[in-house]
A and B are shown apart, each in its own frame.
Chain A
Amino acid sequence: MSALTTGVKRFNRENWKAYFLLFPSLLIFAFFMFWPFIYTIYLSFFDWNMISPTKEFVGLQNYIDILTDPKSYNIFGNTFIYIAILLVLNCVVPYVFAFVIDMVLKRFKGFYKGALFMPAFISLVVGSILFTWILNPVSGPVAIILGWFGLEMPIWSKMDGWVIFVLSLITSWKVFGYNFIVLYASINGISRELIEAARLDQVPLWRIFFQIVLPMSSATGIYVFIITIVQGLQYVFTPIKVITQGGPNYASSNAIYHAYHEAFVLYRTGHSAALSILTMVIFLVLLFIEIKFVERGIYYEN
């Protein structure tokens, strides 16, 4: 018996068991993830209203339409503003919070962790409704308190800029806790000796953060960075849908919401599909740049 045949035989004998275990997952993914993914690419080359029996092949026209429509730039612009705000609120702030709670403070750590994580369990529809009322520019509690100081609350749901900011805030309310806990886990895993040694050398906190904690948790940092962009934009969908439906005049729409809008409000599946694919490509490019850029200094925990 040669070495090769022995190895291969063994290999194959166990092989089927692994595929058997994977089968349910693969079946589901094939139907509801991989095939749809491919079919969306296909649809992006057709003009179709989801109802008519025939689809018209239009080549790259859907992509051209999107790239030449000034509204698209508006929407991509909005998307980047959302990304920027979400990154600050759900990546930078939780990073600093996790660092401070884990390494700087001594008391109430458990309470802070538990309380900060809590909203992650609540529906964003609930969040949207609560904040719509709490931030109601006329009769909400915040408006009333601002009124005491003679300040007036902007009618944020009708104002460009403000609307994106408030919708991002509402989304952050939900997303913050999960990102915080994940980052906390990573920072908590950094060797205490290293930090103690730095403190003995009187290294200031901000230096410990930038020169030890940040590089040593960078693998998780990148993960959070990515999900903040990818999932953050999807989470924003809910408050947009519930509160503004993309308005006023697309001022709060982003690429995700607009793809939905094209498909299920305007019934332009080709545009929607092309927009989704473009969004994904932009995500991929972003991820690629980020990973390339950070890779040099990256430190993989375990």
Chain B
Amino acid sequence: MKINRFVSIPWHLIFIATIFILIFPIIFAVGSSFKSLQDAYNNVLNIIPIQPTLENYQIFFNSLPAIQITVNTFIIAAVVTIFKVITSFLAAYAFVYFQFRGKTVLYFLLISTIFIPFTVTMIPNYLIISKIGLTDSIWGVILPQLADALGIFLMRQSMKTIPMSLIEVAQLDNLSHVQIMRDIVLPLIKPAVTSTGIWFFISSWNEYVWPVLILKTTDNFTLPLALQMYISSEGGTNFTVAMAVSVITMIIPLALYLAFQRYIVGTFTSSGIK
């Protein structure tokens, strides 16, 4: 395809500008997190700190149980991810490789929950968690997050791309379902499973709405909740500390993304959503 330069150059400019707008806040946060408050106010446009300091990080670690908070966030995200990957995989497998009564209805029912606003289930979930005494605990944060049909949807999509004849060959060899899952289906959709897992991990890591309702004491906080403590609408005196906490909150998701970028973009663009 031949494309006129007059067409492509303006587009390149638009994309670069967009990417600048999208990425600038990240760079800005990293820069500011190493500035003293005064430096941050006086040299707003100097992204690179004149006198780099770790003071902001120290304040965070001294004033809050920062390590505990990071560990909490990690545990919640890890448990949610492992659980959702496993249950979604099993459910997707059932939907793809079994014929059973009520299959279509059940699938539709599960998938339609993706489109239910969280406020519809928010109050009863809160009541359930209080009732079983899990308020202000990481399990109270974990449980309701597990009801998520996105994984079932994504994994079913990618399982459907496996030719049925591969499964039939396995059936002729008298393989059990466990063997088919382990030796055939899982290896073949590994990229999709990994990407879905990373997506789950990051969504849970970043989750804010539900933890904010459930968690009360700082010892149980997650990173987004800790971050929220440094907010005041005017920017406030804790602004550079907030930037440091932001950096800590962002670092794992960004590292995961950069490490698995090709994988993730590949999965989302190939198995995709259809």
Contact = CB atoms under 8 A, between A and B. Distances in A.
Q: Do chains A and B touch in the complex (CB under 8 A)?
A: yes
A220 B274 CA distance: 6
B115 A283 contact: yes
A116 B19 contact: yes
Interface string A129-143: 111111010011100
B187 interface: no
B98 A25 contact: no
Contact of B120 (A22, A136, A277): A277
Nearest to B264: A117
A126 B246 contact: yes
Contacts of A241: 208-209, 212
Interface of B: 1, 3, 7-8, 11-12, 15, 18-19, 21-26, 28-29, 32, 41, 44-45, 86-88, 90-91, 93-94, 98-101, 103, 106, 109-110, 113-128, 143-144, 146-147, 149, 152, 177, 202, 205-206, 208-209, 212-213, 223-224, 227-228, 230-231, 233-235, 239, 242-243, 246, 249-250, 253-254, 256-257, 261, 264-265, 268-270, 272-274
A18 B94 contact: yes
Contacts of A276: 117, 119-120, 122
A124 B19 contact: no
A114 B100 contact: no
Interface of A: 11, 14-15, 17-19, 21-22, 24-26, 28-29, 31-37, 39-40, 43, 50, 97, 100-101, 103-106, 108, 112-119, 121-134, 136, 139-141, 144-145, 157, 173, 176-178, 181-182, 184-186, 188-189, 195-196, 199, 205, 219-220, 223, 226-227, 230, 233-234, 237-238, 241-244, 255-256, 259-260, 263-264, 269, 272-273, 275-277, 279-280, 283, 287, 300-302
Given A125-B228, A185-B273, A263 B123 contact: yes
Contact of B146 (A32, A128, A264, A277): A32
Contacts of B261: 114
Contact of A223 (B25, B230, B273): B273
27 contacts: A11-B99, A14-B99, A21-B90, A21-B98, A31-B143, A32-B121, A32-B144, A40-B120, A40-B124, A105-B8, A118-B257, A123-B223, A126-B224, A127-B25, A129-B243, A133-B242, A144-B45, A195-B1, A226-B115, A237-B209, A242-B228, A243-B233, A276-B120, A279-B117, A280-B116, A280-B120, A301-B274
Contacts of A15: 98, 100-101
Given A18-B98, A43-B123, A115 B224 contact: no
Contacts of A259: 117, 119, 122
A182 B273 contact: yes
Nearest to A264: B213
Interface centre among B88, B113, B209 (most CB of A within 10 A): B209
B259 to A, nearest CB: 11
A206 to B, nearest CB: 11
Nearest to A24: B87
B120 A121 contact: no
Nearest to A182: B273
Contact of B117 (A18, A26, A105, A230): A230
A97 B15 contact: yes
A177 B253 CA distance: 15
Kindly list the 8 A-B residue pairs having the minimum CB-CB distance in the complex, ordered from nearest: A36-B124, A185-B272, A123-B206, A18-B98, A36-B121, A259-B119, A21-B94, A130-B25
Nearest to B129: A32
A115 B87 contact: no
Chain B interface secondary structure, helix, strand, loop or mixed? helix
Contacts of B7: 104, 205
Contact of A25 (B28, B110, B268): B110
B147 A125 contact: no
Contacts of A280: 116-117, 120
Nearest to B230: A129
A141 B124 CA distance: 44
A17 B231 CA distance: 51
A140 B243 CA distance: 14
A70 B260 CA distance: 50
B94 A100 contact: no
A124 B239 CA distance: 17
A24 B117 contact: no
A117 B18 CA distance: 12
A263 B270 CA distance: 41
A124 B249 CA distance: 11
A36 B23 contact: no
B188 to A, nearest CB: 18
Given A105-B11, A125-B249, A238-B209, A273 B29 contact: no
B178 to A, nearest CB: 11
Contacts of A128: 231
A109 to B, nearest CB: 10
B229 to A, nearest CB: 11
Contacts of B11: 100, 104-105
